[in-house]
A = this chain, B = another copy of it.
Amino acid sequence: MAEPGDRYEVRLSGSGGQGIITAGIILAEAAGVYEGKNVVQTQSYGPESRGGAARAEVVISDAEIDFPKVIRPNLLLAMMQDACDAYAHDLVEGGTVLLDSTFVSDAPHGENIYAIPITEVVREEAGRAIVANIAALGIITGITGIVSRDSMHEAVLARVPKGTEALNEKALQVGYALADEHCTTRP
């Protein structure tokens, strides 16, 4: 967890349909709306975006944010192999990588690398793979403490489609449990 006032950069990456953009919005709202931090959340699209890659960036700070783009992430979520290959080496020293090992088989080595079969576990525990993005947010919340579990819970409920609240809450709980299981030094 960053010190107060520090800039904390998050890059979420995967493929279209994995809910990466939605995850970025929810993380930004958890920090910005429910914790009152300064947050800028960005998606970039270019001619290559037809290929199906999805990326969302969130910059969180207690201070004003001058530059809204991620420079060297403190946290990377990679839900596809390509995303892992492209971004895993951009991290700040001591940064954290969360990989969905359902789709990423060739993982980098090092400290603070969490390779968890997020989609597979969510499919088993919550019944629907489509909420893997919400489980990933639960893991990120659990291992980094960048937002509180209460703020994340509120942000998830405010943003998911009506009628899917229970499914998304279950996915979030799956994420928290995975974080607790993989993270010995809880914030």
Q: A29 to B17: give the CA distance in the assembly, Å.
A: 13
Cβ-neighbour of A44 out of B21, B40, B43 (below 8 A): B40
Chain A interface extent, by class: 20 to 34
Cβ of A46 under 8 Å from chain B: yes
Cβ-neighbour of A33 out of B29, B45, B65, B69 (below 8 A): B45
Q: A63 to B40: give the CA distance in the assembly, Å.
A: 23
Instruction: List residues 6-57 of chain A with CB under 8 A from any CB of chain B.
Output: 16, 21, 25, 28-29, 31-33, 36-47, 49-50
Cβ-neighbour of A45 out of B21, B31, B49 (below 8 A): B31
Closest to A48 in B: B36
Interfacial chain B residues near A47, Cβ < 8 Å? 36-38
Q: A45 to B30: give the CA distance in the assembly, Å.
A: 10
Instruction: List residues 74-114 of chain A with CB under 8 A from any CB of chain B.
Output: none
* Shortest beta-carbon contacts, A-B, top 9: A32-B45, A161-B161, A39-B45, A36-B47, A41-B43, A42-B42, A33-B49, A40-B44, A38-B46
Cβ-neighbour of A68 out of B25, B36, B42 (below 8 A): B42
Residue pairs across A and B with Cβ atoms less than 8 A apart, 11 shown, are A28-B45, A32-B45, A38-B45, A38-B46, A38-B47, A39-B46, A40-B43, A41-B43, A41-B45, A42-B68, A44-B65
